[in-house]
Structure 1
Amino acid sequence: MVFADDPDKSARWWADQLNARVHRHVDPRGAVYAWLNVAGVELGFHPADPDRNPKGGSPVVYWQVANLDQARKRLLAAGCTHHRGPITAESGRRITQLADPFGTVFGLEGP
């Protein structure tokens, strides 16, 4: 679950990056809940709430990629910003963290 100021806009951006379809639900108050299903994983987008679900308050999810440098470069060009890394972690795997255009921090793991 990602807590976002604009869940619909955030979900659409991720759908473009992952070539996925956005599913939406609008509750009676007009709040949008959106999600993607990618390779058996549901990535949900929920309205941020400063008291209970602050923006960026979700865990850091790592996506495994075939080429970390290429994926990082493509996502930076798509509007992400650098957060941490890249670093070489235990057993030689490489990781990095980026923030999407809406402030959600996520990671990439790959060779």
Structure 2
Amino acid sequence: MSTVSYWTADLPAAVEWYSDFLGTKPYFERPGYAEFRIGDYQHELGLIDTRHAPAGHGIDPGGAILYWQVDDVEAARRRLLEKGATELEPLIDRGHGFITASVVDPFGNVLGIMRNPHYLEMLRSRTGS
């Protein structure tokens, strides 16, 4: 796991609410996105403006996508599709080294996969490799 994303129609209010709840400010922000480090391993909680939600993705409870860090997003995506998953969102280069894709498994669960340079930086700093 690298990032859990929550959608919001009011990003400034969500950033304020989560900053208060978590006792910390986002460490990374750009238009439409704010990111916090949380937990013992400093996993990422991303707040994203609903305008960036994948087509057809609900924003009701349960609408979050948990992204798993992978070395090769395209290879992981291809393997998931070969195993019967269906594409929710194609491979997208989001800039700054972020690459994402998401699929729906045969049971209806959304799986997000990503290459996330912030996660990799943190992991290297903890493992020394």
TM-score normalized with structure 1 length: 0.45
Structure with greater helix percent: 2
